[in-house]
Amino acid sequence: MVTERGRQGTPEFVSRNNAKTRWFHAGVYLTVLVLLFTGWWLTLGAEGDPSVLSQLSGVSDAELHTWTGYAFAGLIVLGVVLGWRAARTLVGDSVRFRRSDLRWFRRWPGAVFTGRFDRHEGHYDPGQRIMNLVLIVLLLALIVSGVGLVTVSGGPEFVWYNRIHRWSTYLLTPAIIGHIVVAAGILPGYRGAWRAMHLGGRLRYKVAERLWPAWLERERSKGFDEERQHTDEKT
């Protein structure tokens, strides 16, 4: 964990996500936003009327949707292969729930406005874990059904792939909107959270302490251990 200390010697910023994670996240949300935009454009029957993205790219919305889908699928495969440890941490922590999480959920509705979240353990808060699982399942369903739609010419398989693709889109859209609202810090309780994935991943210490207290404690402990080891080596 990289920290920047203020004038009083107390940490002012902490680093929650490294550069690889931030670039991967940026690639995912850019491709997903393009897919959602073109997908809804086609779903609403505007295929004959090129969208702004279609006019800028010079290809039809259907082609843009298809090729962006391939890019997204490739990005996911590349991310899992090159960042398998991070992927394991993401899935492992997201499926782990504790009894104490119930207290967090009881305080959550009011905490999104007051910032007074209950303590939780783990890298992600309980709400994030549920959102992670929802996004993983729906995005995988979209990838599999999307590949099926371009490889199957017709028949009952095509009908099922089309249904899965459409319903996954219907469910994913509000989930993505909710994720953006929380991650962007629009709600007062999550103000400042957006820095975790932007501006070098430098998150204000007080924001990290409010949102991820157990993670912050572990990172501080690691920092103390590294500082102690460095001191021992010098002596």
pLDDT in tens, 72-86: 999 999 999 999 988
Does residue 93 fall inside a structural domain? yes
- Residue 47's pLDDT is what? 59
Whether residue 9 has pLDDT greater than 90 = no
Task: Specify whether the CB–CB gap between 41 and 74 falls below 8 A.
Answer: no
Overall pTM surpassing 0.75 (yes/no): yes
For the chain, the domain total comes to 1
Does residue 178 fall inside a structural domain? yes
Does residue 43 fall inside a structural domain? no
What share of the chain has pLDDT > 90, as a percent?
A: 67
Does residue 21 fall inside a structural domain? no
Over the stretch 133-173, which tens digit does the pLDDT of each residue have? 999 999 999 999 999 999 888 888 999 999 999 999 999 99
- Residue 23's pLDDT is what? 93
Does residue 74 fall inside a structural domain? no
On the CB side of 80, CA atoms within 13 Å amount to 8
Does residue 201 fall inside a structural domain? yes
Does residue 126 fall inside a structural domain? yes
**Domain membership of residue 206 as a residue range:** 83-212
Phi first, then psi: what are they for 29, rounded to 5°? -75, -30
H or E stretch at 87: helix 84-94
Does residue 229 fall inside a structural domain? no
